[in-house]
Amino acid sequence: MQQLIERIKRDGVVKPGGVLKVDSFLNHQIDPKLSYDMAKEIHRLFENEDVNKILTIEASGIGMAVLTGLVFDCPVVFAKKSKTINLSDDVYSTTVYSFTHQVSKQVLVSKRYLNPGDRVLIVDDFLANGEAASGAIRLLTEAGASIAGVGILIEKSFQPGRDKLIAQGVDVYSLARVYRLAKGVIEFIPEEC
Ligand code: 5GP
């Protein structure tokens, strides 16, 4: 998606360790117009998939997931990273290694919000090693829900996430695919469609 690529080129900051910082429009301050345009693009890519629910993992994917749910006109579920008193014991859970926090955390979803008949689109801001998306896939498999695909805003194609998801038979679309990050350099794989 050219609009996102241009924005990353303009405002993205390359940090050590293959990290792309996009705090000024996505991960801290959020640009609602760009986010809404990205949600519409994710809808265009998955509109024939009979999606009835969106799933993400807290916290950075939630804003985007909500806008995507607005365009699909369906509920949005986010997996929680801590067990609060409001979350019953009746949960699906799995452990996910966080790329940015560099720790493993249990993620949980109430059994009330994922059901066997659901056809679920996983949405996240970044795809790196595929840990978060694979965790979401495990939750959906445990729930007996079917997976419509994975919609990603920024894929770091030099990391193995995409291959890991494709190997699980899941469709992946990313709005921007970064194949090289170096000091002051952000290079993209050309768009297919
Ligand atoms: P994965 O689970 O695919 O290894 O990493 C994806 C998750 O880690 C995303 O939910 C995102 O929050 C975070 N992440 C991974 N790489 C980056 C990055 O380069 N920049 C930012 N801001 N977040 C990242």
**Tens-digit pLDDT profile for residues 98-109:** 988 899 999 999
Span from the CA of 156 to the centroid of ligand 1 (angstroms):
9
82-91 long-range contacts, Cβ below 8 Å, gap at least 24? 83/108
pLDDT digits (tens, 9 = 90+) for 89-144: 799 999 999 988 899 999 999 999 999 999 999 999 999 999 999 999 999 999 99
β-pair partners for 123: 151
Q: Are the C-beta atoms of residues 71 and 55 closer than 8 Å to each other?
A: no
Ligand 1, atom 19: nearest CA belongs to which residue? Answer: 19
Q: What is the dihedral of CA 89, 92, 98, 99, to 10 degrees?
A: -170
- C-alpha 91/C-alpha 79 separation (Å) is 10
Residue 140's Cα: distance from chain center in Å?
14
Q: In testing the pocket of ligand 1, which one of 26, 100, 158 has its CB within 8 Å of the most ligand atoms?
A: 100
Q: Which two tokens stand for residue 119?
A: 């056809």
pLDDT digits (tens, 9 = 90+) for 141-192: 999 999 999 999 999 999 999 999 999 999 999 999 999 999 889 999 998 6
27 C-beta closer than 6 A to ligand 1: yes
Whole-number pLDDT of residue 88: 72
Q: Are the C-beta atoms of residues 46 and 173 closer than 8 Å to each other?
A: yes
